[in-house]
A and B are shown apart, each in its own frame.
Chain A
């Protein structure tokens, strides 16, 4: 059972990430809070007794360690993402894609217009095979809302880390907007926005970075202006989520809600597009033979 960390303690933890002592103490504190809760519920094994009347005095320590700069954090995120990618040799997962007309203000219900479910096999350096498991079209004859998604080789998940790649640093500005201490994890919330408004398709957004591995665990993307005004009025919300499978963080969902500038056939004035990735199997040693058939590339 986790007990929320008091705000004051959270503030105390702000000065540095760098100083191992403070980080160690914070970690220890978390362990302690975590232990203190379930102790009463334990029925067997050793227990830790806490003496409520015991008081101790610890002298204050002025920490002189330099605070981690934003640049250092960004460097670590780039390295963390690269490391994440390097650890994955092959992966297989279920991918599903949905095109949905969301519930309207007039009380009509949400409608799934198209759904594709496939098993995807990927292996470095550039092997991909997809096996279609389900194809659903609400109205196949008209075919206006068909979803076609191609996978490419590589495990880099550019959709998640596009703004945090070394080559993207020149195009975006970054700002730390918050820190959350969750269990043993310090989560940085970093906001990014394009330095220049020239390219409408460059979004701004917010990422949650787990500083244990410096991996992006969640991202919310927004467009200040419509990327394609002729068709899209605005992107109302876009969220990209990751989950940890074993030792590996991988993308679990990407959801986007779009309001269109004009009434589109079948879609109306807006639609949702969702991608979901489930049932990952990582580094299982996929046989190369599987890529020699079908849609392998």
Chain B
């Protein structure tokens, strides 16, 4: 009955509405007024909540200020005041490095220039770097141009990150298993950012040379975890790099492809092709946790240079192994990780300051390197894929702090990982700072 009555009312209403077409404009205006009233009502409640923050603007004097402002334009408010920062780094090839950095400008406008000069007290070398970056909008998208050059110590593992933590560990406890080389030259790269992808091209022209260990000490006088430094193959590397980071719609995942090519045709002393493909997923589990499956596959063909090889071990790859424990011309790894969203201290009712929410993560992974061993050992068998015996596996837990910067998914973590299976290194405790999806080399955010 109720429904019939309503329908009858609606019918009557329709009739009446049709009968008064002349008033339609007024009615539409009323409808808009009604919507305004509805929104104003919500806005009033907002204003009440925010109080003085929502108070209306005092407009007195604004008109004359506008006339003056238009007649007297201000200069662009970009600060060109340079900033200076002293820095300190340490590794076993350079020893203590005393650095002074200088920066000027801003990347968006007019561009940023950073320079750094340092004294490596081990080999008594002066190291320096200059890098300029400029991002701009053109052709309907955002672009980033970066160019730089200098003489610097670099890692043999081209995917390695977290140099600062490694430096601190090496200085305090002598724990640094990475291998280093010297690079002198320049590089220039251009990136284009779109809604679903980030693509880039980069050219580098550098002299690569080996460097020997010169600092066998550390602050707490512990024995060095690794003393010798793997020698780089000397020569001039001219290389083109093509990269793409793509969102894999509709799946919550991102894929990255990086291809590097170097050859005599472009005046390089080296002849190789290096390709690395990674896939990282980010699946929410009922807003309480995140499931992150990650895969990576890499191949180096041509000259098997140590400085172009792939390395396995360390917090970014296999956390139960020490950094760069194994190397090869082929590389494959898979990791499955679950990171809880809740503050574990709060869950356990442990009193703690608000700025210290800690999360728990668990992970498991498998990985392998195969092909020519850059450390000079026998080659590990396998073609496009490693033979079964070269796979290693692990499981572990992490205590995670997510500061929200410098990128929203930066994770500071303490990991404890156990090797699975026979004939493996012992369990490993590690500290790392990295993006959550650390198989992706290109930082999107």
Contacts and interface: CB of A to CB of B under 8 A. Distances in A.
Contacts of A294: 73-76
Interface in B39-93: 39, 42-43, 46, 49-54, 57, 59, 61-62, 65-66, 69-70, 73-77
Interface string B23-34: 110011011111
Secondary structure at the A interface, as helix, strand, loop or mixed, is mixed
A184 B27 contact: yes
A276 B11 CA distance: 44
A170 B252 contact: yes
Interface residues of B, number: 87
B436 A255 contact: no
A176 interface: no
Nearest to B62: A133
A-side interface size class: 35 or more
B16 interface: yes
Given A110-B51, A194-B284, A201-B404, A233 B354 contact: yes
A170 B283 CA distance: 11
B134 to A, nearest CB: 14
B236 interface: no
Nearest to B61: A134
A132 interface: yes
Contacts of A100: 52-53
A47 to B, nearest CB: 9
A18 interface: no
B282 A196 contact: yes
Contact of A185 (B12, B24, B31, B284): B31
Interface string A276-297: 1010000000000010011101
A119 B65 CA distance: 10
B17 A196 contact: no
Contacts of B389: none
B57 A117 contact: yes
A290 B282 CA distance: 46
Interface stretch (B1-9, B265-273, B424-432): B1-9
Nearest to A8: B6
Nearest to A99: B53
A289 B19 CA distance: 53
29 contacts: A8-B6, A9-B6, A31-B20, A32-B12, A35-B17, A56-B11, A56-B12, A58-B8, A60-B4, A103-B52, A109-B52, A117-B62, A126-B137, A132-B65, A183-B31, A184-B27, A196-B252, A197-B290, A218-B39, A229-B403, A229-B404, A230-B403, A231-B355, A237-B50, A241-B43, A253-B46, A272-B52, A276-B57, A294-B75
Interface of A: 2, 6, 8-9, 12, 24-36, 46, 48, 50, 54-58, 60, 94, 96, 98, 100, 102-103, 109-112, 117, 119, 126, 131-134, 153, 165-167, 170-171, 180, 182-185, 187, 193-202, 208, 210, 217-218, 224-231, 233, 237, 239, 241, 243-244, 253, 255, 257, 261-262, 272-274, 276, 278, 290, 293-295, 297
Given A35-B27, A294-B73, 18 more contacts: A25-B13, A33-B13, A34-B27, A46-B22, A48-B16, A56-B8, A58-B11, A60-B3, A60-B7, A131-B70, A180-B38, A197-B290, A229-B357, A233-B355, A239-B50, A243-B39, A253-B46, A276-B57
